[in-house]
Amino acid sequence: MLLSRRILSPAGYLLAGLLFLLPFVTLNIDSPLVRGGADWSGFDLTVGGEPSISLNIIWYGEDGGLRTEATTIEAFYGDERADQFLPHRFLHSQALAIAAAVMALAGLLSGVLAGERVQALVAALAGLGAATCLSIAEARAVGFTGPYTRPDYGFWLALCVLLALGIANALHAIRLRHA
């Protein structure tokens, strides 16, 4: 049991860290003239990275049929207005995303601490703290960018993994206390 806990908990925190590479925030644009969107990964939220953007212009051709053309935001809006169209950095939630990543790293490294109960307590606090910081960071990022944004699957997977790790380690620490 001890060996599996020593391997599974750090592996879970490593998985949570890898889930930061998946999309966390998605912005969808669907208007009569423009369709597209942008995705920010958990890594983008943490380091203030640029989103991956897809944008299509829609118009009627000479034959009356719909035509689309992929373009960039800079080409569509001009260089000056492009920065106003999408927030490229989530500075208002970046500190919380960094705190979540650091707590996940603490959970990963908790296995090197002396004492099984201390390891379980640190891993539990790391998981629950990271889940809390990540939830607040996501809420702030989604709320800041407007009504067309939503949390994406990477966020939900990372949140579930962090919550599961935090709760499992908290229960293990409680069992060790009463043993």
Residue 75, pLDDT above cutoff 70: no
Average of pLDDT values for 115-123? 88
Alpha helices in the chain (DSSP H): 2-19, 42-47, 73-77, 79-85, 91-109, 116-145, 153-178
Of residues 15 and 80, the one with the higher pLDDT is: 15
Question: Which of 84-88, 113-117, 139-143, 163-167 has the lowest average pLDDT?
Answer: 84-88
Radius of gyration of the chain (CA): 21
For residue 54, what are the β-bridge partners?
37
Reported as a pLDDT band with limits 50, 70 and 90, residue 154 is very high
pTM above 0.85, yes or no: no
Question: Does pLDDT of 110 surpass 70?
Answer: yes
Q: Report CA-CA distances (Å) from 109 to 13, 62, 72, 101.
A: 9, 63, 42, 12
Residue 163 confidence class, pLDDT cut points 50, 70, 90:
very high
What pLDDT shows up at residue 164?
94
More confident residue, 161 or 34: 161
Residue 139 has pLDDT above 60, yes or no: yes
pLDDT average, residue stretch 19-27:
90
- What confidence tier does 126 reach under pLDDT thresholds 50, 70, 90? very high
Task: Find all residues with CB under 8 Å of 78, minimum gap 6, and list them.
Answer: none
CA angle 52, 57, 58 (to 5 degrees): 140
Please state the rounded mean pLDDT for residues 137-153: 81
Residue 88 has pLDDT above 70, yes or no: no
Of 53-67, 73-87, 111-125, highest mean pLDDT: 111-125
Q: What pLDDT, on the 0 to 100 scale, is given for residue 143?
A: 77
User: Topology of domain 2-178, per CATH?
Assistant: Butyryl-CoA Dehydrogenase, subunit A; domain 3 (1.20.140)
Mean pLDDT of all residues belonging to the chain: 81
